[in-house]
Amino acid sequence: MKTLDLSFRNNEKPTRGCLLVSDPFLHDAYFTRSVVLLCENNKDGAFGFVLNNYLEIDLHDFDSSFPDIDARVGLGGPVAKESLFFIHKFEPGEVNGSTQIQKGLYYGGDYEQICSLLKWEKNHDKVRFFIGYSGWSPKQLDEEIESDAWIPIHNHTAEMIFNTANTNLWKECLEMQGEKFKFIANFPRNPSDN
C-alpha cells in the first residue's frame, strides 16, 4: 500500500520572480495562507510582497493628488509599514529607476511617472500597490524553505500577480503543483473544522 507524501516541499529554488506559497499550517498575522512575489534574493537577503493580503484603504489617504482609480492596496508585509511600494508591468523606459524582477515585471521607480501613466484608463491593470514589504536576512529564507515554511513556485503568470479580485490565489498556486499539493490546498485552516 502506497502512503501519501504530505511533505510541503518541491525541488524549486527561491529565485527572483518566483512565488513563495506559505505552509498551510503556518499561523502568522502576515503570512497565513499567503503568496509572496519574491523580488530579490541574494547574499544580502531577500524581499518581496504578499500578493493576497489586502488593506481597506484609499491611496488618496497617502497622496491627495493620486489619480482617481479604484486600486486595491496590498499589505506587502511587516517591514516599513509606513511606506508605499509598487510593482508594475510598464515597458522599459516608461518608468525611470525601475528594477526588473523578470521579463515584463518591475518594482519601484519614479512615482510621478507611475501617477501620470495611471491617468490613462488602459494602464490601471499594469500596477499594484503595497504598504510594507516582506524581508529576510541573509540565509533566513533558505532556512525557512528547508523547514517547509514556504514552497517556491515558478509556473505562474502575470495575471495571477496582478489580479486583485482573486480570493483563491494561495489554493490555485498549490493546486498547480500536482496531486499531492491539491490535497494540501483543500486542508481546512483549522483541522478541528474537518
Residue with cell 498551510: 24
Confidence of residue 122 (pLDDT cuts 50, 70, 90): confident
The answer to whether the Cα torsion of 164, 130, 51, 23 is positive or negative is negative
Residue 37: its H or E element:
strand 35-42
What tens digit of pLDDT does each residue of 137-158 get? Answer: 999 999 999 998 999 999 999 9
**146 alpha carbon, distance to own chain's centre:** 20
The DSSP output letter for 60 is G
Query: Global pTM?
Result: 0.91
Paired sense of beta strands 35-42 and 45-50, if any: antiparallel
The DSSP output letter for 185 is H
What tens digit of pLDDT does each residue of 92-112 get? Answer: 889 999 999 999 999 999 999
Measured distance CA(192)–CA(162) in Å, rounded: 34
pLDDT, residue 159, reads 92
CB neighbours of residue 127 within 10 Å: 21
